[in-house]
């Protein structure tokens, strides 16, 4: 074990920490830290345990002034003496994550804790305050005798040992995550299993026709690697669709907190396709695995190499953990060669999901409908098409006169996808979404939990679980799943924020509701809900937010919503209990509805 894994105890002055209310004893702070470290989000997050323990210890030891990005990078994240926090953003990113975890904890499981620990933005110093909610904790009955180790020191010693034990489990032991099946909520997955960032492969061939494989192969690898419960894989929204040309995959991956980076290249020569994949450590840049995969370029088909790469990578990473076994390997998705044009249509769908609008919807629907004609056994094409049909219903995109109702088509397509590949979490998720649109909440809950058991480390699955649980009335669980999805996927699409906004709105938490509504609006202002959320938040919190422009947008761009607001909010899976309050707040903001409101 390295010296960086254990931090030395430094003698501290006796007494407590003064606050604006009353003195908080170090015993109380030790107990508060212990509660944080044993929380759901921290139990299997050794990095976060190290970080919060280090910050609290240094603050208590009177060393808060020395808490800098440089010292944290070296002591907590094992960077070398050449570490430059201006170039390497690991500390800033992980501090943001820690603040989010602490905020979420004290809003949920820790809301009755006596002492609240926080780290204000712009500072690395821990702050401690009494929680105004619970009753005051009784003072300790016994005061340590002179010369005897203080109880708080013993408690913190235990805490550090627990943190180190967690680190040992992280490095050498198996994951404890077990996902639930059926309709019962699953335990949250381990964020600090080895985290992998997969980036689009480079096309080294002059054949521009292979460019579609760059993103496609990465997306398939993300799906396949997420099936291994011992691994945690960043979503394509964080990597494939947000990678900047100004930064390397390694730089982006490190900023996102990845442990490993999976990249590669694609080339073609003499009617053969060569795919080179390499896995490197994010911290050191060391390449720990590389392999070539060569396939004949069958005319018009996509070779199924991604499962082979995923299995090789998982096997390489799993060796210290002893988790990847035959049973888990057998659950890997078995790809078959598919028509190149059909494959491109599924990739087009992923682009549509990044920018949902009527024109993209029309082109994607046409492409996918032709894809299932060419490849009737292509499960992902059917699943993607079901989403497109749901958006016909929910977003009023490109309705076709005289066609079968969109939700009927969506249900048929989703069921076909699950029938073709019952072990594909994407198909299960799409079926869950269709059930939600049909207001069959328990069926939706059952399907999304099956998706979670198949793909437990995928942020989109976690976000879907939260989105569906809120409509089942399980608000605290919904919030935890949605928050975990956002934490796991910094490049998340805007719909991840729907559950968290509604949670804050329902609890009349103005600060969090306003911040979430603003973030949602910036990411997805071309659709209805961002404007609804902004205007409703403005009325919920008078004087805190100007909602007039959003009222104007609702009046001019969404005429159907003005006529039947209850129906439209129901279509968008707003829980029944919140529809009337939202409409009332929109009216308070100045919106004039038709007769239904």
pLDDT tens figures, 370-401 = 999 999 999 999 999 999 999 999 888 998 88
More confident residue, 377 or 10: 377
Query: What is the per-residue pLDDT for 184?
Result: 35
Chain centre to alpha carbon of residue 375: 32
How far, in Å, CA of 356 to CA of 516, rounded?
20
CA distances from 31 to 28, 36, 313 (A): 5, 9, 41
Q: Which two tokens stand for residue 382?
A: 């059917």
Angular region, 271: left φ>0, alpha ψ -120 to 50, beta rest: left
More confident residue, 218 or 503: 503
Distant-in-sequence, close-in-space partners of 292: CB < 8 Å, separation ≥ 6: 274, 275, 276
Nearest residue to 549 (alpha-carbon basis) of 570, 560, 559, 534: 534
> Which 8-state DSSP code applies to residue 16?
E
Angular region, 124: left φ>0, alpha ψ -120 to 50, beta rest: alpha
Contact indicator for 537, 512 with CB cutoff of 8 Å:
no
Contact indicator for 239, 198 with CB cutoff of 8 Å:
yes
More confident residue, 162 or 520: 520
**Residue indicated by tokens 């967690």:** 166
How far, in Å, CA of 361 to CA of 393, rounded?
12
pLDDT tens figures, 546-562 = 899 999 999 999 999 99
pLDDT of 145 > 60? The answer is no
Parallel, antiparallel or unpaired: strands 195-198 and 260-269? parallel
Q: Using the CB atoms, write b or e for 162-173: b if 16+ within 10 Å.
A: bbbebbebbeee
Lowest mean pLDDT among 247-251, 320-324, 379-383: 320-324
Lowest mean pLDDT among 101-105, 418-422, 445-449, 511-515: 101-105
**H or E stretch including 276?**
strand 272-281
């Amino acid at each position: 074990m390295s010296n960086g894994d254990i931090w030395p105890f430094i003698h501290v002055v006796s007494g407590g920490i003064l606050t604006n209310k009353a003195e908080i004893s170090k015993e109380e702070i030790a107990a508060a830290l212990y509660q944080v470290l044993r929380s759901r989000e921290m139990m299997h997050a050794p990095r976060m345990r190290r970080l919060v323990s280090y910050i609290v210890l240094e603050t208590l030891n009177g060393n808060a002034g020395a808490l800098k990005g440089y010292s944290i990078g070296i002591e907590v994240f094992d960077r070398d003496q050449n570490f430059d926090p201006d170039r390497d953003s690991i500390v800033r990113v992980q501090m943001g994550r820690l603040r989010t975890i602490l905020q979420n904890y004290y809003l949920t499981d820790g809301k009755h804790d006596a002492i609240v620990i926080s780290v204000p933005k712009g500072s690395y110093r821990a702050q401690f305050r009494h929680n105004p909610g619970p009753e005051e904790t009784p003072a300790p009955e016994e005061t340590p005798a002179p010369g005897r180790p203080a109880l708080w020191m013993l408690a913190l010693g235990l805490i550090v040992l627990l943190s180190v034990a967690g680190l040992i489990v992280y490095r050498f032991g198996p994951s404890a995550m077990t996902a639930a099946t059926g309709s019962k909520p699953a335990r949250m997955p381990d964020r600090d299993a080895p985290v992998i960032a997969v980036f689009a492969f480079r096309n080294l061939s002059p054949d521009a026709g292979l460019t579609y494989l760059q993103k496609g192969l990465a997306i398939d690898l993300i799906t396949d690697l997420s099936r291994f419960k011992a691994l945690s894989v960043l979503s394509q929204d964080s990597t494939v669709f947000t990678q900047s040309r100004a930064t390397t995959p390694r730089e982006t991956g490190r900023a996102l907190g990845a442990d490993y980076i999976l990249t590669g290249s694609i080339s073609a020569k003499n009617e053969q396709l060569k795919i080179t994949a390499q896995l490197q450590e994010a911290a050191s840049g060391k390449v720990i695995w590389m392999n070539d995969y060569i396939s004949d370029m069958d005319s018009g088909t996509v070779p199924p190499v991604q499962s082979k790469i995923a299995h090789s990578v998982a096997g390489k990473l799993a060796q210290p953990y002893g988790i990847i076994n035959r049973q888990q390997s057998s659950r890997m998705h078995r790809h078959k060669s598919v028509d190149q044009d059909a494959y491109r249509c599924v990739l087009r769908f992923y682009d549509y999901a990044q920018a949902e609008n009527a024109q993209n919807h029309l082109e994607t629907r046409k492409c996918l409908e032709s894809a299932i004609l060419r490849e009737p056994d292509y499960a992902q094409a059917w699943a993607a098409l079901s989403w497109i049909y749901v958006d016909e219903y929910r977003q009023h995109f490109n309705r076709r006169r005289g066609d079968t109702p969109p939700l009927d088509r969506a249900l048929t397509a989703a069921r076909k996808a699950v029938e073709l590949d019952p072990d594909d979490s994407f198909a299960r998720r799409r079926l869950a979404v269709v059930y939600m649109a049909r207001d069959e909440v328990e069926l939706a809950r059952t399907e999304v939990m099956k998706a979670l058991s198949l793909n437990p480390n995928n942020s989109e699955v976690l976000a879907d679980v939260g989105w569906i649980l809120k409509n089942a009335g399980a608000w605290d669980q919904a919030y935890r799943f949605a928050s975990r999805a956002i934490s796991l996927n910094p490049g998340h699409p805007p719909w991840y924020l729907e559950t968290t906004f509604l949670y804050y709105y329902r609890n009349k938490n103005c600060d969090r509701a306003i911040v979430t509504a603003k973030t949602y609006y910036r990411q997805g202002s071309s659709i209805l809900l961002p404007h609804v959320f902004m205007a409703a938040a403005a009325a919920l919190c008078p004087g805190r937010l100007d909602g007039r422009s959003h009222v104007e947008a609702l009046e001019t761009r969404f005429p159907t919503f003005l006529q039947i607001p209850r129906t439209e909010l129901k279509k968008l899976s707003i829980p029944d209990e919140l529809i009337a309050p939202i409409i009332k707040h929109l009216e308070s903001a100045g919106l004039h509805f038709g007769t239904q409101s």
